[in-house]
Structure 1
Amino acid sequence: MSATQAFVIVGGGLAGAKAAEALRDEGFDGPVVLLADERERPYERPPLSKGYLLGTDEREKAYVHPLEWYDEHDIDLRLDTAATAFDPAAHTVALADGGTVPYAKLLLATGSGPRRIPVPGADLDGVLYLRRFPDSDRIKETFAAADRVAVVGAGWIGLECAAAGRAAGVEITVLEAAELPLLGPLGPEVAQVFADLHRAHGVDLRLGVRIEEFTGSGGKVTGVRLADGTVVDADAVIVGIGIIPNTALAEAAGLTVDNGVKTDAHLRTSDPDVFAAGDVANAFHPLLGKHLRVEHWANALNQPRVAAQSMLGKDAVYDRVPYFFTDQYDLGMEYSGYVDPGGYDRVVFRGDPASGEFIAFWTAEGRVLAGMNVNVWDVTDPIRDLITAKRPVDPDRLADPDVPLGELL
């Protein structure tokens, strides 16, 4: 293998697999090496807290490609192979087994890991996190055996796990430091929808609480002690308090790191031969005019093609409107756009949130910054068009379901 030819991808998740696919689609016929530190071939993360955890989707559905795809496309997929460092001057990647891989271009798709909770008892058996297949398998087994489970954190992962637990018949207590679930990304107007949803499905939702410690017996967790002295009994605890980008390789190599690996709009890092995509990339977003690190599936799905094109010297820019989706109980939701916490002046509702079918628009000075459609479908494209137009919209017409969204442009 020649360093002048090899394109190396570090990270065997969705972003890494889609980057390998994009390189072949874009006509690159040189060596492509995909380094995956898991024993599983690349798979998508959303099923781990959605269909796979619920038991409605088979494991196979989560994989990005069939196993034979990698051989058919001449992708050197190396499973259970961790990269420990890379040398930008020598253009080599060091592996945990002592080997090295030379590269001409390198893509960092190292993803992220769950944020750990720093409280006494955090190392007890039964304190669970969700990021990989074995984590989802363990939580699924827990739901089958447990009577009571506490979920720490009312973010997307915590709430999806809570919904899966209720579907399995488990008593669920959700513990959240903020005054509402999802308060940061959604604001109080829409966050209340998710508080009402989970309470309606029997979740004991406790807000504005602080975790003091995890209690245990015989090395196994038995509950959560709150700062006010209350103890929430639990057979297991799922912690979902966010994720941290895996930037250690980039930092050690001297790349610019700031809440992820910093890149330009072409997904190029501070080293011209090194690129980043997915959870780990803090990329400049032309539409928003600032750097943004998005921890959602759509970035891992779509950024790799731009990264591959940039690696091949093409003038590609990543400017897609951020997108996210969730399924909880009978609520299906898509969210398009991005709003800093408190960075809006009004939420306009099209439809009644109490009905379970509505669209919410976050606006500033009349411009649509983001939109979330709940149990209303086939509106993602016009919502994105409203966001990218960057023009004020009449709020009364925006709220009127009889006015087609396309007529608001």
Structure 2
Amino acid sequence: MPKAETRLKGYHMMDAGILIIGAGQAGYQLAVSLRDAGYEKRVVLIGDEADLPYQRPPLSKAFQSGDCEAEHVTFQKEPFYSERKIELMLGMHVTHIDRECQHITTGHGRHIHYEHLVLATGARNRLLPGSDSAVAGLLTLRTLRDAHALRNALNRSKSTLIVGAGFLGLEFAAVAAKRGVSVKVIEATSNLMSRAVSAPVADAFRAHHESLGVRFSFDSGVKRICTESGRVIGVETTDGVLHEADLVVVSIGVIPNVELAQDAGLETANGIVVDMNLATSDPSISALGDCAAFPSRFAFGNCRIESVQNAVDQARYLAQRLTGHTHGFEAVPWFWSDQGGVKLQIAGVAMGRADEIVLRGDRAGMKFSAYGFLKGQLVAVESVNRPADHIAARRLLAVNAPVTPSQAADMQFDLKSVLQPVN
């Protein structure tokens, strides 16, 4: 475990450079990318967790199954940061941004100056109303500490109830089911991943999870968490049904951490509002990752994307912009989720607005893609165990290729051919 604060010799605390608040995927990648881009001034990476920066995706899958440990999810060991001259300040909470004096204040009352400030503050889990963290067996999953607690609870669990049928909840459901635990998922909407994927893909994954033994209760919200002697015993849903379980995992989405930005007078709207350069209304402050709401032609307006690849893409772009090499962020958003041996890859973010869905491949064999069109234009592609489709979809969306629904439905038609220039 590193010390709460690591400082490099040769730097004075008043030296101004780039200060990054948030040591998750976006903050870590930005710090590394700044050095890769030749930035020579001070780079400071502040995180409110004491752990070295780490990956989150394995926490709901490989970490829970026991296939990896904490040291396997850490990006780099501590000497890496010293070698790259990246100052780590871990276990440190930032309480205030003084834009006029260009410094931040920590919970210890300390001021740290910056030439440019980057907010990579991420997001936090949305909680059920009235949730009590003191109740044993009632857990969420966001941090490495959460992951340890959940794995320990899963090792003792015989029946697990998951509130929320999104990516993370379903990834954990598959792990728990494969370990022989009785698993039920409660979802307020009528299908799983309903806010993120098309109906055919949702239906296919529902059948897949049910084949693993996962049961679902749709169109039902949580009325109350049931406890006995300080320990969870189940959940009562809004239809009056009591679902018994010795472990309840709440996975109902996240809330972007915008409070620092709001208090500093920066614009926020479902995230910290930035322009196509990832700059806020203050030219000395940028934002990226899960906390940033940015304009994207792929989403038909401002969007906030919670994905590893978005964090990486934005960090690499911002490092280039801050070192004067490029301008204008525009990358095809893409996502993935591994659920019980089935890989879902999504290119684009507009499937919910598609007015026509075309399937291509073997749906029964769980090797197919769903192509979403809006007024005849391809806007998103969901690929199930078809990685080649996904790679091609990202290229098609990047150049706004003129793919038609009939071409997408025709397995004999090579979609990549529309990328070739016509002589």
Is residue 2:372 matched to residue 1:372?
A: no
Shift of 1:154: 0.3
Partners of 2:121 and 2:258 within 8 A in 1? yes
How far 1:287 moved relative to its partner? 4.6
What value does the CA root-mean-square deviation take over the aligned residues? 1.7
Report which stretch shifted further, 121-130 or 288-297.
Answer: 121-130
**Cα contact 2:13–2:112 (8 A) shared by 1:** no
Task: Note the C-alpha offset of 1:184.
Answer: 1.6
Normalised to the residue count of structure 1, the TM-score between the two structures is 0.96
Provide the secondary structure at the position in 1 that maps to 2:305: coil
User: Percent of counterpart pairs with the same letter?
Assistant: 33
Which residue pairs with 1:354 in the alignment?
Answer: 364
How far, CA to CA, are the matches of 1:336 and 1:231 in structure 2?
39
Residue 355 of structure 2: aligned partner: 345
Q: 2:208 aligns with which of 179, 197, 217?
A: 197
Partner of 2:48: 37
Deviations 1:280-311 (A, max 9, x none): 01012245452110011111122112222233
Q: Aligned partners of 1:365, 1:269: CA distance in 2, in Å?
A: 33
Cα offset, 1:386, TM superposition? 1.9
Larger deviation, residues 287-296 vs 216-225: 287-296
Name the CA distance, whole Å, in 2 between partners of 1:397 and 1:82. 53
Equivalent of 1:300 in 278, 299, 311: 311
TM-score computed with the length of structure 2 as normaliser: 0.92
Compute the displacement of 1:385 (Å).
Answer: 2.1
**Matched ranges for 1:140-219 at <5 A:** 140-219=151-230
One-letter code aligned to 2:406: D
Q: 1:396 to 1:286 in 2, by over 3 A?
A: closer
Deviation at 1:313, TM superposition (A): 3.9
Retained in 2: the 8 A contact 1:160–1:327? Answer: yes
Equivalent position SS for 1:33: strand
Q: Which amino acid aligns with 1:14?
A: Q
In the alignment, which of 14, 17, 22 is matched to residue 6 of structure 1? 17
Seen in structure 2, the aligned counterparts of structure 1 residues 189 and 380 have a Cα distance that, compared at 3 Å, is closer
Query: Is the 2:346–2:382 contact (alpha carbons within 8 Å) kept by the matching residues of 1?
Result: yes
Contact 1:152 1:176 in 2 (8 A): yes
Flag the 1:50–1:317 CA change in 2: closer, same or farther, 3 A.
farther
User: Which ranges in structure 1 are unaligned for 5 or more consecutive residues?
Assistant: none
CA distance 1:319–1:95, change in 2 (3 Å): same
Aligned partners of 1:268 and 1:310 also within 8 Å: no
Q: For the structure 1 residues 184 and 83, does the alpha-carbon distance in structure 2 shift closer, same or farther, using more than 3 Å as the test?
A: same
For the structure 1 residues 111 and 121, does the alpha-carbon distance in structure 2 shift closer, same or farther, using more than 3 Å as the test?
A: closer
Aligned to 1:234: 245
Q: Which amino acid aligns with 2:311?
A: A
The CA distance in 2 between the partners of 1:206 and 1:163, in whole Å, is: 16
For residues 50 and 110 of structure 1, the distance between their equivalents in structure 2, rounded to whole angstroms, comes to: 24
Tell me the residue number matched to 2:336.
325
Indicate conservation of the 8 Å contact 1:15/1:278, yes or no: yes
Local SS of the residue matching 1:215: strand
Q: 2 CA distance for matches of 1:199 and 1:288?
A: 32
For the residue of structure 1 that corresponds to 2:403, the secondary structure is coil
Whether the aligned pair in 2 keeps the contact of 1:34 and 1:78 (CA below 8 Å) is yes
> Who is 1:406 aligned against?
416
Looking at structure 1, the residues matched to 405 and 295 of structure 2 have their Cα atoms a distance apart, in angstroms, of: 30
Assess if the C-alpha contact under 8 Å between 1:365 and 1:392 holds in 2: no
Change (3 A) 1:231 1:287: closer
Q: Distance in 1 between matches of 2:409 and 2:73?
A: 37
Letter in 2 for 1:257: T
Higher deviation after alignment, 344-353 or 113-122: 113-122
Q: Report the secondary structure of 1:184's partner residue.
A: coil
2: CA distance, partners of 1:176 / 1:288: 25
| Contact kept in structure 2, 1:176 and 1:208, CA below 8 Å | yes
Q: Is the contact made by 1:3 and 1:91 (CA closer than 8 Å) also made in structure 2? A: no
In the alignment, structure 1 residue 49 sits paired with structure 2 residue 60: yes
Deviates more, 1:186-195 or 1:249-258: 186-195
Matched, 1:64 2:75: yes
Q: Does structure 2 retain, via aligned residues, the 8 Å contact 1:266–1:315?
A: no
The answer to which of 366-375 and 236-245 deviates more is 366-375
**What corresponds to 1:137 in structure 2?**
148
Q: 1:247 to 1:121 in 2, by over 3 A?
A: closer
CA contact (8 A) 2:351 2:380 kept: no
* Count of residues in Structure 1 that have an aligned counterpart in Structure 2: 408
One-letter amino acid of the structure 2 residue matched with residue 195 of structure 1: R
